[in-house]
Amino acid sequence: MPLDDQTPGQKPGEARQFKVVGTRPLRPDGIDKVTGRARFGADMSAPGMLIGRVLRSPHAHARIRSIDASKAEALEGVKAVVTRADFGAGDDDVADILDNCMAGEKALYDGHAVAAVAATSAAIARKALKLIDVDYETLPHVVDVDAAMKPDAPVLHEGLSDETVPDGVSQNVVHRVEFGHGDVEAGFAKADKVLERSFKTAATHQGYIEPHACLATMGTDGIADLWVCTQGHYMVRNTCAAILGIDQGKLRVTASEIGGGFGGKTTVFLEPVALALSRKANRPVKMTMTREEVLRATGPTSSTSIDVKIGMNKDGKITAASADLRYQGGAYQGSPADMGSMTAFAPYDLENVKTVGWDVVTNRPKAAAYRAPGAPMAAFAVESVVDELAKGFGLDPLDVRLKNAAREGTKSSYGPTFPAIGLEATLQAAKDHPHWKAPLGPNQGRGVACGFWFNFGGDTCVSLNITPDGTVTLSEGNPDIGGSRASMSMMAAEELGIPYDQVRTVIADTGALGQNEVTDGSRVTFAVGLATIKAARNAKKVLCERAAMVWGIDPEAVEWADGCARPAGDNAGKFPPMSLKEIAAIASNTGGPVAGHFEVNAEGAGVSFATHMVDTEVDPETGAVKVVRYTVFQDAGKAVHPAYVEGQFQGGAVQGIGWALNEEYIYGEDGRLQNPGFLDYRIPVASDLPMIDTVILEIPNPGHPYGVRGVGETSIVPPLAAIANSVSEAAGVRMTDLPMSPPKVLAAIQNG
C-alpha cells in the first residue's frame, strides 16, 4: 500500500529534530539478560514433558531401503518414534523443507535426519536411537560445487534443472541466472588492462551460540502450541501447519528469546518433528540440538567458485566487468547465486556489465540464509580484482572506487536506477578518516572494500495499546534479535511525545497479531518501526478525538504535540492541553479503551552501502594473520539507537573476519563433515581482535518516516574482500581462496 512518507508538519527536505530517536537508552530486556532469567529456546519445560532426539545419516548420499524401529519402540520409556512415513505428502511449497527435516527416499548429506524418538529422558532417547535399524544403500556423493556441475557428477535429484539450464552440465545445476547491460566484450577491448581471476570461498556457518530448540504440545484435535527459538514464529507456524496438514489458526507459536540467528533461524528443522512426536505420544516434547547437529544439519552458507574479469583504464575508469558465480546450496535448490549475481557490481557505475549465477546442489546440508545471503562472496571476488587493478596502475584504491562509484541516477548492474544512496559518502568518510593515513608497521597491509545490500520490508503488524494509567504497551511480531524492542519503544515514544520508559514493547505470539514476515532482510527497524509509527499516529488520532469530545470542539481542530492534545489554533478555542495520561484516565467515559494498530506489507525499503578499512599483520614464518585495526563506514539512514547500530556494524565485520581467516566446512573423502564443533570450526574469539571502530553516516531513506534504513546485513558484505586486500598487500601475494588460514597464507608466501 502507498505510505505517506512525510511527517505531518515537516517541510520536505527539512531535517526532523528528534527527542528520543538517536539517544542510547537501556534496553527493556536488559536486566533479564544480565541476570540469567531471560528464557531462550531450551529454557522452557512443561509438565509430563518428553525429550526428543533425532537419528541422523552417517552417509553423504544413500538410498534408505528400510527403517526398523520396533526395538526402539519396545524400549521402556520410549513413547513415540517417527520417520518420514509419519508425515503426509505435504504441500509442494514445503516439500524440500519437509525432506530436509526428515529424509524420504534418500539421505542427501551427512547429518540428514532419518528418524526421531521421544522418551522420558534424554538418556533413554539416545539409547533408543541406537536401536533403530536403517538399511542404507550408499551412493556416490559430491560436495564441491565445480565437481557437482560436471556432466558425469553423481546426481542428487533427477530432473531438477529448470528451463534456464543449458545442455552439457550436470542435473545438479538447478538454475542459471544472468544480469547486466551493455556490451562487455566491446568494453574489455577498450581497456588499458583486463584482469581475470578465479576465487573460492568455503562454506561457513552462521554460528549462533544458541542451538535450535523447541517445546511442542499437540493434541489429537489438531490444536497445538509451540515454544521455539526462531527468527520468525509466524513462518514456523505456517510451515509446520503445511507440513503436518493442520490449520494455521490452530497452531499457536510463541517465540522464545533468540540466541542469535543471522539468517540461520529463518526456516524449520526440529519443529515439525517435535510436533509429530507430540501428536503421536500425546505428551509435550522438548527437542534441542547439540552443536554437532547444528553444524552437520542446519544451514551453512554456500561454498562458491567465482571468476571475475574487469577492464580498467590507466586513470582508474572501469570499462567493463563480468563475473561467473557458482554457488552450491547443499542438497536442495535455492543457493543465493542470484543474490550474488545482483549484488556483485552494485557499488559501481558501469557501462558494460554482465553476471551469470549458477544454483547447484551437492551432498551438503541445505544452505540457509546468512546475513546478506550470497553477497559477501561476490564482493570478495569483485573487490579483489578492483583492488589489484588499482594498485597495478599505482592508483589509490579509494579514489578508483570513488571514480566508478554508483550514485543517484546510476543504472545499477542488476537493473534499476539508484535513488539517493550513501556509497560515495562512505568512501569519502573513509578517505577523510585518520585510519587511512596512519602509518603501517612491518608485515602489515591495509585493505578497503565496498559492499551493497538490498534490505526489504514485508508483512508487518503492530498493536499499540494505552493502559488506563496512560502507559503504553506495544505488541509486535518479530523476534528481537539485537535490541529491536528498544528501538520500537523509542519510535513509539518519539511519536507520542512521551518518555521512553513509558512504553513497553513485547513480542506477541501468533495468536495475538496478523501475519508477520521473518526477522530478516534487515527489515525490523525499518518495517516494524514504520508500523509502530503509524500505529502511534492512529492512536494519536483517537486521543485527539477524545479531547475534542471533552472540549466540545471539532476533532479536526485538535492536534497532538509534546505528548498532549492541544487546540490546533486560536480559532479552535482556548483549552489547557490534555496529556496522554489525562485522556487515558477518562477513556472509559469517552468511548472505551484507546489503541492504535497498523498492518502493512511494508514495501519499498532503501538499499544500503558500506565501506570497510582494515589493517592486518602477517607472520611470515607461520602464515598467521592478525587483524590490527578495523573501521566500518556505513549508511544507516537514521540511527534510532546508535549503540545497537554500532553493534550491528561490529558484529557483521567480525563475522566477516571469521569467514575470511578461519571458518570453513571441511569434508573428508567420505563426504562426512570433519569439524562439527567449535574447537575445529573456529569462530573469532576476543583475543583475535582489536576494537572495531565505526562511523555511522545518515543519508535518510525517503521510504521511512524517520529516514531509517536496515543496517543488519550490509556490514558482512565488505569484510572478506577488505581483509583479502589487506592480507594480499601484507603478504605480497594475491590471496584468492578463503579462508586465508595460516597454512594457505604460508604456502602462498613460499610459492611467491
Partner 1 sequence: MVRIWGSLTSATDGQADVEIEATTLKELLDGLSEKYPAIRPQLQRGVSVSIDGKIYNDSWFQPIKPDSEVVLLRRIVGG
Partner 2 sequence: MSQIHVTTKINGDTTEYLCDPEETLLDVLRDRLALTGAKEGCGTGDCGACSVTVDGRLVCSCLTLGAEADGCEIDTIEGMADGEKLHPLQQKFLEHAALQCGICTPGILVAAKSLLEKNPSPTEEEARYWLAGNLCRCTGYDKIIRAVMDAAEEMRRAS
352's CB contacts (< 8 A; 6+ apart) are 180, 181, 182, 183, 184, 186, 187, 188, 319, 320, 321
Closer to partner 2 at the Cβ: 209 or 420? Answer: 209
Question: 415 contacts which partner out of partner 2, partner 1, none, CB within 5 to 8 A by kind?
Answer: partner 1
Closer to partner 1 at the Cβ: 80 or 353? Answer: 353
Kindly list the distances between the CA atom of residue 193 and the CA atoms of 38, 410, 590, in Å, as whole numbers in the listed order. Answer: 58, 24, 76
The grid coordinates listed for 60 are: 553423504
Binding-site string for partner 1 from residue 605 to residue 634, where x marks contact by CB under 8 A and - marks none: xx----------------------------
Whether the upstream peptide bond of residue 739 has omega within 30° of 0, thus cis, is yes
Q: Give the whole-angstrom CA distance, residue 421 versus residue 406.
A: 8
Closer to partner 1 at the Cβ: 262 or 560? Answer: 262
Q: Is 415 in the site for partner 1 (CB under 8 A)?
A: yes
Closer to partner 1 at the Cβ: 343 or 363? Answer: 343
Report 119-148 residues binding partner 1 (CB under 8 A).
none
Buried b or exposed e, range 154-187, using 16+ CB within 10 angstroms: bbbbeebbeeebeeebbbbbbbbbebbebebeeb
The 8 Å CB, 24+ separation contacts for 64-68 are 64/103, 64/104, 64/105, 64/106, 64/107, 64/114, 64/134, 64/135, 64/136, 65/135, 65/136, 65/137, 66/134, 66/135, 67/114, 67/115, 67/132, 67/133, 67/134, 67/135, 68/132, 68/133, 68/134, 68/135
What are the start-end ranges of the H helices in 46-131? 70-74, 95-101, 122-130
Choices 16-24, 410-418, 442-450, 497-505 (CB under 8 A): range interacting with partner 1:
410-418
State in angstroms the smallest separation of the CB of 334 from partner 1.
9
Closer to partner 2 at the Cβ: 259 or 397? Answer: 259
Closer to partner 1 at the Cβ: 28 or 261? Answer: 261
In the list 87, 179, 526, 630, the residue contacting partner 1 (rule: CB under 8 A) is 179
Residue type, 312: M
User: Would you call 92 exposed, middle or buried from its count of C-beta atoms within 10 A (0-12, 13-18, 19+)?
Assistant: exposed
From the list 218, 236, 291, the residue with the least C-alpha distance to 259 is 291
Closer to partner 2 at the Cβ: 127 or 317? Answer: 127
State in angstroms the smallest separation of the CB of 324 from partner 1.
13
Q: Is 605 helix (H, G, I), strand (E, B) or coil?
A: coil
Binding-site string for partner 1 from residue 299 to residue 338, where x marks contact by CB under 8 A and - marks none: -------------------------------------x-x
Q: Give the whole-angstrom CA distance, residue 127 versus residue 77.
A: 10
Whether 78 contacts 118, CB under 8 Å: yes
Q: Give the whole-angstrom CA distance, residue 207 versus residue 678.
A: 9
Q: Is 381 in the site for partner 1 (CB under 8 A)?
A: no
Closer to partner 1 at the Cβ: 414 or 681? Answer: 414
State in angstroms the smallest separation of the CB of 508 from partner 2.
19
State in angstroms the smallest separation of the CB of 748 from partner 1.
30
Report 674-713 residues binding partner 1 (CB under 8 A).
703, 713
Whether 213 contacts 40, CB under 8 Å: yes
Q: Give the whole-angstrom CA distance, residue 658 versus residue 427.
A: 24
Question: 703 contacts which partner out of partner 1, partner 2, none, CB within 5 to 8 A by kind?
Answer: partner 1
Closer to partner 2 at the Cβ: 671 or 710? Answer: 710
Closer to partner 2 at the Cβ: 33 or 314? Answer: 33
Binding-site string for partner 1 from residue 236 to residue 275, where x marks contact by CB under 8 A and - marks none: --------------------------xxx-x---------
Closer to partner 1 at the Cβ: 211 or 336? Answer: 336
Closer to partner 2 at the Cβ: 40 or 418? Answer: 40
Quickly list DSSP for 380-431: HHHHHHHHHHHHHTT--HHHHHHHHB--TT-B-TTSSBP-S--HHHHHHHHH
From the list 557, 553, 554, 546, the residue with the least C-alpha distance to 584 is 546
Residue type, 706: Y
Question: 210 contacts which partner out of partner 2, partner 1, none, CB within 5 to 8 A by kind?
Answer: partner 2
Choices 234-242, 364-372, 571-579, 686-694 (CB under 8 A): range interacting with partner 1:
364-372
Residues that bind partner 2 (CB under 8 A): 24, 26-27, 29-40, 42-43, 45, 123, 206-211, 257-262, 288, 290-291, 481-483, 641, 643-644, 646-647, 650-651, 653-655, 677-679, 683-689, 691-692
In the list 119, 339, 346, 386, the residue contacting partner 1 (rule: CB under 8 A) is 339
Give 3-state DSSP helix, strand, coil % of the chain, rounded to 5: 30, 25, 45
Binding-site string for partner 1 from residue 432 to residue 471, where x marks contact by CB under 8 A and - marks none: ----------------------xxx-x-------------
Q: Is 715 in the site for partner 1 (CB under 8 A)?
A: no
Q: Which residues bind partner 1 (CB under 8 A)?
A: 1-2, 162-164, 176-181, 206, 262-264, 266, 336, 338-339, 341-342, 354, 356, 369-373, 414-419, 454-456, 458, 520-523, 601, 603-606, 703, 713
